[in-house]
Structure 1
Amino acid sequence: MTQKTATPPASKLGVRVRALGFHLPGDPIALGDIDMTSDLRNRLADIGQEFTHQSDGDSTELAIAAAREAMGKAGTPSSSIGLVISAPTLLTSYGFEIPAIAIRAALGLDNADCLNVAQGCVGFLAAMRIAAQFLKTEPGRGDVLVVTACQASNLTEGFSHGAFFWGDAGGAAVITADPGNGLHIEAYSEKSSDKDWGAMRLRHGDGASYSACIPNDDLRITVDFSDARAQADYIMGEQERCGSLIDSLLAAGNLSDDDINAVLLPSIGKNRVPLLLAEHKSLRKKVASDFRYAHMGGVDVLFFLAQLLENTPPTKEAWYLAMTPAFTAQWGGLLLRHSG
């Protein structure tokens, strides 16, 4: 069984989101029309997912489209970006790619340095800490463009790895140190697994010759635990990691569960909410994720937050928790504040 361990304090960021942009390719595809196992079909209602999106292109194209959307909403010139951070959820469009460089070139961000973060679904959120540190240490360089993308349809069979459904999408945020109203990122924290962090994976990597690769088996997202006990321990460990993450983020803002207006979780199954929030039961009714969407990797939680802010703009100060796992490796999250 898992044992609760101390969680490092959250990193305080204190930056503002100038704009969020997203790209969901094509028309929604109804999951009910997709071939799937009888077990998955029987669990669809509990999972809550209803549709997905599929791209004809690659993850970098998704990222560029989302970055254009965010820059357009920000209304700032390309010369105002001092750093581009790419944080792809899964793979990149080719093996040695630094997507931030492709984004920089496509958008003409000539003044920007480039960085790539490979941290799964958590990467988009973790990159906000790097953005905040850049803004504080190099205040004259301009804003930071943080971009993620998830191209899962080529790495799954029928959009699923067996537990829930995936979709293709891109997301981007323009982060600034300039004062102003709107959405602010106050803190970032993460909680990593102590074991079985590699249970969810693509089996083929640089530990084996390419000649040993069997694409249909080795280039698909899989989840392999050593036995049923290990899987059960992982499930309980997720509860502990999510709970500890919430504790850390709340402490950073000197807040309690009562102060939180909404919780954004990824679309990995609405049936998982009670377990994930077992240590913070009062937050269950505050979950504002739209679980009808297939899981879009790192795009999910800030996409759901953007939807919430668009549909119900806050009239006074409001606090939000946006949290997601990265594979079976860790949970990461942001504490956000809207000035109202």
Structure 2
Amino acid sequence: MMFDDLYIAGLAAYLPERVSTQRAVAEGWYDAAEAEHLEWVSVAVAGDLPAPDMAVRAANEALAQSGHPAADVAVLMHASCNHQGPDMWSPQHYILRHTVGGTIPAVEIRQGCNGFLAAMELAGNYLAAAPQRPAALVTSADNWGDPLVDRWRATPGGLFGDAATAVVLSRRSGFARLVNVCATSLPELEELNRGGEPLFPPGCTTGVRVDLRERAATYKGSQDLVQAGRLMGETQRRLITRTLEEAGLEPGDISRIAHQFVGDEQVLRRLLEPFGEDAVSRGVWDFGRSMGHTGANDQTSGLFHLVSTGQVRPGDRVMLLGAGAGIAFSCAVVEILEPPPAGTPGAPV
């Protein structure tokens, strides 16, 4: 989906303190052999701060930067992966109550780690559908520290980090332009994240811990894990190509890449293969391996990192790469138009 007049007017992130993998090994939380094999440096840990409160902090910062009053915001979309609070409760309305308020629609997006990019595409379309809608607020937050998730062992090759991010999309102006978002799905691989677990009763109601490693090990799909991994890689590479072609761009036109956070540089090289030999240097490798995989926040916290540390300047284009359970993939192109707004870390004084 191409957007003619959709801008990022505000961008913020809540990034908790880090806990080093060295300490995790010493405490017995993280496997020493895996720590040596992979290259995670640390993980962001928010303690007992609820995910919706993290989202509120990021959202209010993004709103303050954007220049949009609360009355301009026409919709709120909140992306999440893990539990946000009590079951049968609405975190998106809690976030709405503590940010812009009012009676606008508030929607929770449950598309796993692809959620933020999916929410941006939906919010962009919502604004485009009616010219009287000036702005949208998109948030995401996860705290993986609950008793049913072991952030150090729950997912193959990964560590879960806590974070919240927020973006204000504007029809009027912004420091960056959202050029386009493209998406695709591989529903035949949904079982990868389900494995042998029954659909009912849900594991979270019976105290079953989240173990994505075990689910992958019990996967009995039509393709083995190697074939499934190959298909996912091919699908994401095709989506990258389609996103570039739709925007009239070549891989060399992309200055930086805000990708999924991984702890293995070889995995990252395969992920960024369409961008050539220097792709890793254009990514956010060091930042990502200091955070852990932050659910739907990887891409937007990566973009925030690039903006707030002055690593992008006007004229640069950043590609955001998302992937989530489903399997869902999204790609977006963001063009930097001017220095970040006042209030963003790294903004000119």
Band of TM-score, shorter chain: 0.7 to 0.9
> Could you say which residue in structure 2 is the equivalent of 1:165?
159
TM, length-normalised to structure 1 = 0.86
Q: CA deviation at 1:105?
A: 1.0
Distance 1:296 1:212 in 2: 20
Cα displacement string for residues 215-271 of structure 1 (whole angstroms, at most 9, x for unaligned residues): 244x44454243696111122122212211211110121111111101111212233
Q: CA deviation at 1:16?
A: 0.2
Cα pair distance change 1:230/1:199, threshold 3 Å: same
8 Å Cα contact 1:81-1:141 kept in structure 2: yes
Pick the aligned partner of 1:273 from 262, 265, 268: 268
8 Å Cα contact 1:241-1:330 kept in structure 2: no
> Could you say which residue in structure 1 is the equivalent of 2:143?
151
> Could you say which residue in structure 1 is the equivalent of 2:251?
257
8 Å Cα contact 1:152-1:166 kept in structure 2: yes
Cα pair distance change 1:259/1:279, threshold 3 Å: closer
> Could you say which residue in structure 2 is the equivalent of 1:136?
128
1:29 and 2:19 correspond: yes
Distance 2:202 2:180 in 1: 41
Distance 1:273 1:30 in 2: 21
SS in 2 for 1:159: coil
Cα pair distance change 1:315/1:88, threshold 3 Å: closer
> Could you say which residue in structure 2 is the equivalent of 1:303?
301
1:38 and 2:28 correspond: no
Distance 2:204 2:247 in 1: 50
Distance 1:213 1:132 in 2: 35
> Could you say which residue in structure 2 is the equivalent of 1:6?
none
SS in 2 for 1:335: strand
Letter in 1 for 2:176: L
8 Å Cα contact 1:81-1:142 kept in structure 2: yes
Pick the aligned partner of 1:84 from 55, 76, 79: 76
Distance 2:9 2:75 in 1: 15
Letter in 2 for 1:30: S
8 Å Cα contact 1:153-1:159 kept in structure 2: no
> Could you say which residue in structure 1 is the equivalent of 2:346?
none
8 Å Cα contact 2:70-2:100 kept in structure 1: yes
- Equivalences for residues 1-340 of structure 1 within 5 A: 11-14=1-4, 15-25=6-16, 27-34=17-24, 35-45=29-39, 48-154=40-146, 155-161=148-154, 162-180=156-174, 182-201=175-194, 207-209=199-201, 214-217=206-209, 219-222=210-213, 223-225=215-217, 226=219, 230-269=224-263, 270-282=265-277, 283-289=279-285, 290=287, 291-312=289-310, 314-327=312-325, 329-340=327-338
Cα displacement string for residues 157-203 of structure 1 (whole angstroms, at most 9, x for unaligned residues): 243324211111111111110035x2111111123225222312497
Q: CA deviation at 1:51?
A: 3.0
Unpaired segments of 5 or more residues in structure 2?
339-349
Which one is further off, 159-168 or 225-234? 225-234
Distance 1:179 1:41 in 2: 44
Cα pair distance change 1:337/1:324, threshold 3 Å: same
SS in 1 for 2:307: helix
Spell out structure 1 runs of 4+ moving beyond 6 A. 202-205
8 Å Cα contact 1:67-1:147 kept in structure 2: yes
Distance 2:301 2:212 in 1: 23
Cα pair distance change 1:204/1:145, threshold 3 Å: farther
Cα displacement string for residues 253-299 of structure 1 (whole angstroms, at most 9, x for unaligned residues): 11111111011112122331122133443434422342222111111
Q: CA deviation at 1:314?
A: 4.1
Cα pair distance change 1:279/1:211, threshold 3 Å: closer
Which one is further off, 112-121 or 68-77? 68-77
Question: How many percent identity over aligned positions?
Answer: 17
TM, length-normalised to structure 2 = 0.84
Cα pair distance change 1:208/1:80, threshold 3 Å: same
8 Å Cα contact 2:111-2:325 kept in structure 1: no
Which one is further off, 288-297 or 260-269? 288-297
8 Å Cα contact 1:81-1:109 kept in structure 2: no
Distance 2:320 2:189 in 1: 24
8 Å Cα contact 1:262-1:321 kept in structure 2: yes
Cα pair distance change 1:301/1:54, threshold 3 Å: same
Letter in 1 for 2:97: A
Letter in 1 for 2:179: E
Distance 1:64 1:175 in 2: 16
